[in-house]
Amino acid sequence: MAFTFKKQIFGFMDLLRFKKLVPNRRKMLAEGSSAPLPKSYRVNETAHILHPGYQNAALVQIEQNTADTKTYTFETDKPFYFRAGQYLTLGCKIGNSEVSRPYAISSAPQEALKKRVSLTVKKSGFFSGYLFDHAKTGDVFALGDPSGDFCYEPIKDAKQIVAIAGGSGITPFYSMAQAVTAGTDEYTLTIFYGAKTEDEIIFKKELDALVSDKIKVIYVLSDEEKEGYEHGFIGAELLRKYVSGDYTVMMCGPAAMYAFAEKELASLNIPLRRIKKEANCVGMRDAEKKLYTLTVHIGFDTYTIPADSRETILVAMERAGLKVPSKCRAGGCGFCHSKLLSGKFSIAGADKRRLADAKFGYLHPCCSYPDSDMELIVPKA
Ligand code: FES
């Protein structure tokens, strides 16, 4: 009975509240400001300032690091924000082709807020070769938003990062070392840096200057015996010698280094979630040269272009001067995601598409090679 009584009281109160609902709402509307709503909000404006999208970047400095590596410093139109470890897409027109390529950022995050950013480039391939041989200060390039998740994640990662770098794979770690030194990132960094010889080490002077209680650098030479260096390849034995406790491993370098390091890390029982690997751009495949025809629909336009079986579909479209979207060029970001209408293709390495994409016939042209004539719908850049 008591329960029924309470229920009746509350039911009565609710009815009263309900009766007052409309007059209360009217009263509040009458008392409200008649000023028009703001066209934009501070939080959106700040986000837009920090992530301005594609912008112009003037090349202001070129520095030769090693025989086949240079660092290019740009002044951007607008300041922007990035996380140490991310990459930028740099693009320009070469002849009739619209070309772009992702490059790891070597400068510190705080520099980008002052409209300066540096990218370190190893000479290889069409666009890097162009930069190496033809780019000069004063040239203006298109620079995309910072992308990639090869970054420190405070919730997921240990407080200690063990970096394994090979060759120009040191680039994101140099940016991280600067971020840790400046206090923008809170972790300790032990860098194992593998190179064939001392001459091939990039940023040696700069890295040595950053060594502190938070940053350690161990240089490992594979083809040269020299005092003050470790020798051979970066493996479990070296990690045991220099690091202990809980750590996250981040790797950036050539595929052969990943294959070796992965086997070695298995013997250390590091959980897979604590091992991160930066994806490499997909290059040419080792296959017999065949020529195919691609029919490409972009918006209301249709193009018929040739495609070399050894090059990715993305490269074929760029060579033909089509303006097509790309960022990571490694199948990871989904930016080039296109719809296959007909034809066959092979994927370089692991298939990183979502299950639904594979099922409904979508592909990533950046990491797919043509195996027949093809027809596809590509989004506008
Ligand atoms: S450019 Fe990133 S998936 Fe193709």
> Model confidence over 79-134: pLDDT tens digits?
999 999 999 999 998 888 888 899 999 999 999 999 999 999 999 878 899 999 99
Distances (CA, A) of 217 to 161, 174, 199, 206, 273: 12, 11, 16, 11, 24
Under the banding of pLDDT at 50, 70 and 90, the label for residue 305 is very high
Q: Which residue type is seen at 289?
A: K
Read off the pLDDT of each residue in 140-155 and give the average, rounded to a whole number: 94
DSSP 71-97: EEEEEESS-----TT-EEEEEEEETTE
Of 88-102, 137-151, 291-305, which range is least confident? 88-102
Residue 326 Cβ contacting ligand 1 at under 6 Å: yes
Give, in degrees to the nearest 5, the angle at Cα 88 between 86 and 94: 155
Residue 116 Cβ contacting ligand 1 at under 6 Å: no
Residue 70 Cβ contacting ligand 1 at under 6 Å: no
CA atoms within 13 A on the CB side of 40: 8
For a mutational test of ligand 1's pocket, the pick from 147, 327, 357, i.e. the residue with the most ligand atoms closer than 8 A to its C-beta, is 327
Residue 376 Cβ contacting ligand 1 at under 6 Å: no
Residue 377, class by beta-carbon neighbours within 10 Å (0-12 exposed, 13-18 middle, 19+ buried)?
Answer: middle
Q: In whole numbers, what is the pLDDT of the chain averaged over residues?
A: 93
Handedness of CA 44, 49, 51, 54 (dihedral sign): positive
Residue 332 Cβ contacting ligand 1 at under 6 Å: yes
Ligand 1 atom nearest to CA at 326 = 1
CB 328 within 8 A of CB 335: yes
- The pLDDT value recorded for residue 4 is 54
Q: Is the pLDDT of residue 14 over 90?
A: no
Under the banding of pLDDT at 50, 70 and 90, the label for residue 346 is very high
Residue 329 Cβ contacting ligand 1 at under 6 Å: yes
Read off the pLDDT of each residue in 31-42 and give the average, rounded to a whole number: 88
Under the banding of pLDDT at 50, 70 and 90, the label for residue 1 is very low
What domains can you pick out in the chain, each with its CATH number?
Answer: 49-143 (2.40.30.10), 160-277 (3.40.50.80), 291-377 (3.10.20.30)
pLDDT greater at residue 305 or residue 183: 305
User: Please, where are the H alpha helices in 85-225?
Assistant: 109-112, 125-134, 171-182, 204-210
For a mutational test of ligand 1's pocket, the pick from 317, 367, 368, i.e. the residue with the most ligand atoms closer than 8 A to its C-beta, is 367
Q: How far is the CA of 130 from the centre of ligand 1 (A)?
A: 22
Which H helix or E strand runs over 264?
A: helix 255-266
Q: Is the pLDDT of residue 186 over 70?
A: yes
Q: How far is the CA of 277 from the centre of ligand 1 (A)?
A: 16
Q: Is 213 left (phi over 0), alpha (psi -120 to 50) or beta?
A: alpha
Ligand 1 atom nearest to CA at 334 = 3
Torsion of CA 152, 158, 164, 168, to 10 degrees: 10
Under the banding of pLDDT at 50, 70 and 90, the label for residue 16 is confident
- The pLDDT value recorded for residue 361 is 96
pLDDT greater at residue 16 or residue 86: 86
Percent of the chain at pLDDT > 90 equals 78
Under the banding of pLDDT at 50, 70 and 90, the label for residue 6 is low
Residue 235 Cβ contacting ligand 1 at under 6 Å: no
Q: Is the pLDDT of residue 64 over 80?
A: yes
What counts of helices (H) and strands (E) characterise the chain?
10, 19
Question: Taking the mean position of all CA atoms in its chain, how far away is CA 131?
Answer: 20
Q: Is the pLDDT of residue 59 over 50?
A: yes
Q: Is 177 left (phi over 0), alpha (psi -120 to 50) or beta?
A: alpha
Of 64-78, 204-218, 271-285, 301-315, which range is least confident? 271-285
Q: Is the pLDDT of residue 3 over 60?
A: no
The pTM for the full model equals 0.83
Under the banding of pLDDT at 50, 70 and 90, the label for residue 7 is low
Residue whose token pair is 């950036």: 252
CB 335 within 8 A of CB 347: no
Ligand 1 atom nearest to CA at 327 = 1
